Structure 1
Amino acid sequence: MQDIHPLILCGGIGTRLWPLSRTEHPKQFQRIDGNSETTFFHATVERYRAPGFADPLVSVSSTHVATVLQQLDEIRCPARIIAEPISRNTGPAVLAAALMLAKTDPASLICVIPSDHIVKGDLAADIVSARSAAEAGHIVLFGVPPEYPETGYGYIVDGGEIEALPCARKVSRFVEKPPLDVAMALIEAGTAFWASGISLFRADVLIEEFRRLDEHTFDAVTLAVARGLETDHALYLSAEALQPAANLPTESIVFERSPATVISPLTVAWSDVGAWNALHHIAEKDEEGNVLSGDVISIDTRNSYVRSTHKLIAVVGLDDVVIVDTDDALLVTTRDQAQQVKQIVKKLETIKRRELSQHMRNQMAWGEVKRIQSGPGYELRSMTLRPGMMLPVAQDQTLHRMMTVTKGAGLLKTETLTRPLRIGETFEVAANEGAVIYCSPESEMQIVEVVCDAAFKSVATALDALQLVNS
């Protein structure tokens, strides 16, 4: 019996989980809570490291390939990566994976899995129990029995039993994010499920449905795979070929239009963590109904979600609130208004705030980078390289870099020289030059970097900042 291939989708941004989730560092790569190192992506991968499952495929933006590689290495999990040069929603990503697997086995079983959900229970067992329906040529959509009339989820309405197929049921219709009165009616009828975004099917079935229902996208993705660049760690799809593909989810292109679609109920607790209130809903609570993450002291506070990243948060006399603290932003709202965080994100986009896209402190494949100070034409930041790691400094026509080693030792290599690096040594990487910094395998290395616009005239300001750090 062949193994099921988990296809983990990492393309979302998760704007309603700002300030944790940012466009350059989305929620799937962030820690689930402040009390552990496990990220949403870690948890998703680990969920399918079980009998009956092959090593995962991971579909991700090209800009986040290094992050995926780092997090896979942290849990020692091999995987094949499909790198998307442009965003085209889930439809083209799922088709690309099916085309890849069909090269060696057209009947490969694929389970599509979002990377940013929270699940409690044996989801892998639920998926394995529905494999007979997928092997028979059905597209299995996994539904969650609804706990309340959620207006932010899609619903799948049960269409009745399927003879000789006890693991799945017919689909009557789809209802996308209904208003409250409709959601309440669906719950009362007892025949609707939340759409989990998880599906199971044969590669050849999905490919044929795409060819039949959206030949234009099928041709574009087929060409993007054929013209893609394959490296040791990923297949980079061709951007030019992928451009004409529909920017739509698999649900609207295929699942909602295919007679092969069936539904299989899940037996687990599930949340897509679309907003902070969802994290409160599914997490374990204290005796006051609070979910406290990180360094938090709570007095006379109930039914609240409070998350600290680096500093102590003290909360007194508040009920039903959400407080989320990061290095450079603090969110305070009520649980019933948590969905409105997306309005903050829109405002940040309008006024072009850095906090929309970047954290002050970011984990990289080679270590950590922290922004310390910035001003017109320059940015001061601290970088910590893990022992034995390599930091590539890419050529850039607009940026001039000045660096000082403040801890550890290593090696600097440019096109013209190779030199050792020790504490207190300062070096430059000029605009249009590249370099590689190697950290000694014995201990970590810390570097303070000032990045200046090449055309910035008042470089003295940046140099003053660097001198201040050195002193």
Structure 2
Amino acid sequence: MILPVIMAGGSGTRLWPLSRKLFPKQFLPLVGEQSMLQDTCARLAGIESLPPLLICGDDHRFTVAEQLRESRTPHSGIVLEPAGRNTAPAVALAALRATVGGKGNKADPLLLVLAADHVIKDVAAFQASVSRAIPQAQAGKLVTFGIVPTAPETGYGYIRKAAAVDDAEAAFAVEEFVEKPNLDTAQEYLRGGDFYWNSGMFLFRASRYIEELRQFRPDILSACEAAIQGASIDVDFVRPNKDAFLACEDESIDYAVMEHTRDAVVVPMDCGWSDVGSWSALWEVSEKDADGNTARGDVILQDTRNCFVQSDGRLIATVGLESIVVVESDDAIMVAAKDRVQDIKKVVERLKAEQRSEAQVHRKVYRPWGYYDSIDNGARFQVKRIVVNPGAQLSLQMHHHRAEHWIVVSGTAMVTCGEKEFMVTENQSTYIPLGEVHRLENPGSIPLELIEVQSGSYLGEDDIVRLEDRYARA
């Protein structure tokens, strides 16, 4: 049986201002109605497999869980990396979790390792390549999927194939893995026909990956074994032991195993693949008008060609532009030449250096109970729109530096304030004094929406003392 392993970590900066550290691109609906994570799960529907096992960081755990719930996607657990250590340790955690028997897992499944932030236009072709790879993985091979190149791309690593390993020429031995080439070299690769783009997708038996890791990187395996043995279970979350995992080296699967094993094979995949690593890459895979423009949201284009323009709210009007990217989010606007979008990461580095919140979070922040949107703020006040999901509740908490006024816009709120517990319905309000223990809950069957006005000497999110919390944040 196949166990999909979806790697949903990372904090992509190249798609800023939409992608932020706490809400990166894999959680964004960049190419359709669903997020990229949800699309990744959906394309498994034609493959006979167990529910996917997710790998992500602690900061993203509730976003992953909520997007799975929203798309009604069953899963085999969510493994929380204590820190980012690249793909080799992440997949080691998944392989060890699978072989010791997680929820619904068999003893030694085939691991289909996927990234949560890839675009695949031809899902049937993707599934067909996975089917062709299964016999190789069952025979003990470590399969990597090579994307049939369509251009001399310098932003991807390459895989050079050797002789076919089956009569149907569905799989080939791996001759070598090649780093990102310059343009001349990439053009040679394209003309030669023996090279594929390195997709970062794999299929192998869990035990075979562990065996190869034990041979080539026993230090990584040892650290991950200790981390899994010391793991704790928190509802759907698997928390590997932090101290053990932090001893692990930062290494990719390619460097740790695939470049050394004698059992690496590559299965070609021609499926309209992209890792959407920049705004220009997103423009390339998006629908365009007759002038080559991609326009999303409230956009008016006048004498504009080959541009990507996206508005999340406000009207954007362009005149006389060519090959430009314009992206408006709730708190930032980014304008860049399409051939310079790789330098957006330098802007993010400056934002981080200046400790600006725009590098970390959006104005709208998702929580396990729903989300809040910071509408306005100033000296000693802040206004938020808060939406609480049906049946959800915030932690029992108090604040040292601020008081809060709550006005219910729709739905019904169950409020705990000190020793009192009472209901607040539409068009009613209540006051939470500074220092008072309180909690907000939605007992209804529709979302609870309210406006919160905070006032006080300090209004930061770290002025929350959690006393009880159903999401293990206390």
TM-score when normalising by structure 2: 0.89
Q: Secondary structure at the match of 2:63?
A: helix
Structure 1: runs of 5 or more not aligned? 457-471
1:87 maps to 84
Q: Partner of 2:365: helix, strand, or coil?
A: strand
Q: 1:461 matched to which residue of 2? A: none
Instruction: Give the corresponding residue for 1:426.
Output: 430
Q: CA deviation at 1:171?
A: 1.1
Q: Distance in 2 between matches of 1:262 and 1:432?
A: 62
Query: Quick one: structure 1 residues 38 and 402, their matched pair in 2 at CA, closer, same or farther if it must change by over 3 Å?
Result: same
Which residue of structure 2 aligns with residue 218 of structure 1? 221
Aligned to 1:407: 409
Deviations 1:428-460 (A, max 9, x none): 27559563433533553313142756699xxxx
Q: Deviations over 1:366-391 (max 9, x none)?
A: 333111233467643221223x2423
2:450 corresponds in structure 1 to 446
Mapped pair 1:65 → 2:61: yes
Give 1:415 shift: 7.0
Per the TM alignment, residue 238 of structure 1 is displaced from its structure 2 partner at its CA by 1.5
Q: Following the alignment from structure 2 to structure 1, what is the Cα–Cα distance between the partners of residues 218 and 249? A: 10
Instruction: Work out the number of aligned pairs and report it.
Output: 451
Equivalent residue letter for 2:28: Q
Q: Is the 8 A contact 2:417 2:436 kept in 1?
A: no
Taking structure 1 as the reference length, the TM-score comes to 0.90
Aligned CA RMSD, in angstroms, stands at 2.3
2:337 aligned with 1:339: no
In 2, are the aligned partners of 1:382 and 1:449 still within 8 Å (CA)? no
Distance 1:455 1:117, change over 3 A: closer
> Residue 435 of structure 1 aligns with which residue?
439
Aligned-partner SS, 1:349: helix
Structure 1 pair 144–451 and aligned structure 2 pair: CA distance change class (3 A): farther
Match of 1:102 in 2: 99
The runs of 5 or more residues in structure 2 that have no matched partner are 461-474
Partner of 1:462: none
Of residues 252, 263, 267, the one that matches 2:266 is: 263
| Residues in 2 aligned to 1:165 and 1:437: alpha-carbon distance in whole angstroms | 60
Corresponding position of 1:28: 26
Cα distance per residue 1:195-251 (max 9 Å; x no partner) = 111110000000111111111211111111111111331211121221101122222
Q: 1:207 aligns with which of 204, 207, 210?
A: 210
Which AA in structure 1 matches 2:98? L
Q: Give the percent of matched residue pairs that are identical in Structure 1 and Structure 2.
A: 32
| CA–CA distance in structure 1, aligned partners of residues 24 and 433 of structure 2 | 30
**Residue type of the partner of 2:93?**
A
CA deviation map 1:99-145 (0-9, x unaligned): 11112444310111000111111212211221001111111110111
CA distance change for structure 1 residues 67 and 142 in 2, over 3 Å: closer, same or farther? same
Structure-2 separation of matches of 1:290 and 1:365: 37
User: What is the 5 A alignment of 1:360-439?
Assistant: 360-375=363-378, 379-386=382-389, 388-393=390-395, 395=397, 400-408=402-410, 409-413=412-416, 416-422=419-425, 423-428=427-432, 430=434, 433=437, 435-439=439-443
Answer yes or no: is 1:15 the counterpart of 2:13.
Answer: yes
Deviations 1:16-38 (A, max 9, x none): 000010001111111115xx531
Could you give the per-residue CA deviations for residues 383-417 of structure 1, whole angstroms, max 9, x where no partner exists? 1223x242323647765451312313210236744
Question: Residue type matched to 2:280 in 1?
Answer: N
Alignment of 1:228-307 (within 5 A): 228-307=231-310
Matches within 5 A, 1:38-77: 38-77=34-73
- Per the alignment, in what secondary structure is the counterpart of residue 406 of structure 1? strand
CA pair 152-219 structure 1, distance change in 2 beyond 3 A: same
**Matched position secondary structure for 2:180:** coil
Residue 403 to residue 297, structure 1, CA distance change in 2 (3 Å): same
